[in-house]
Structure 1
Amino acid sequence: MKLLNYSVIAFALIVFPTCSQAQNMDNDSIDKKYTIQNCVNHFNGSSVVKTKVGYQYWFADKDFLDGRTLKMSVVKPHEATHAPHKHPEDEFFFVLEGTAEFYLDGQTVVSGPYTSFYCPSNVEHGIKNVGDTELKYLVIKKYEKK
């Protein structure tokens, strides 16, 4: 499973800067002190957010940096978290385990682990579990500040 760990780390580093880089990126984060304690988030089962079809775990929520988030979604076999939709933010999905059907602007593709899907802003998209085991994927997204 070392491949998985390195793939996830490499993918996240492309989208997210290091903590020291992030401190200099926006005025809100200048006041925040980043330490090894708040820059490391080990999965904690007691902090999952239940959904109708599984659960979500936020490794970095909207308040950690400047709206950039990292979330893991886990979906039961043959289910979807929600129907295809669109929103102003673009986002990435990165499949960790299972079989996902990715929908983008009227087309679909089915893929397994170590696959990323990009969702451009304001384009209808969705992801669902089309396999017989749990689907686990990362969602990387930046929410605009309000």
Structure 2
Amino acid sequence: MTPLELKEMLSEIKSEIPEIKKTISLIDDSDLSEFASDMITSEMALVGVIPSYEHVGKIGAFKTLPIFQLDIVEKTDYSAINNDEFVALYERTLKVMFKVRDFVLVKIEDGCYPMLSNIDVTSMTIDPIKKKAQCNGWSMDVLTE
């Protein structure tokens, strides 16, 4: 998956999941703050971290394997949120993360993302994100084999 393919995938996911209001492509988490400043509180964004590439095999018979991350984050006003609302934010963003995961897996099964055809589903992890550039939500790491 190239950076352009990632950006196109983010746009496709956004068009299918109405809760997602914005897509952002970046190199790593430290870039999120400059993009999150444009977000509105409670706005949900899909973030794609531009892949790194692992190589396996020998010369003449190697594979290039993309390793990338998709995040669902929501900008949070910490001065106006209590614990119940905080838990509700994680519930809301987790449901959207599961929609993203399922969408990507269906597209891979349908042959729409050939660059991800060797995805190792057992290596996919979904972890909470807390207070990254005033955003909270979930991060999904995706490895291919």
TM-score by length of structure 1 reads 0.30
Structure with more of its chain in helix, by fraction: 2
TM-score by length of structure 2 reads 0.30
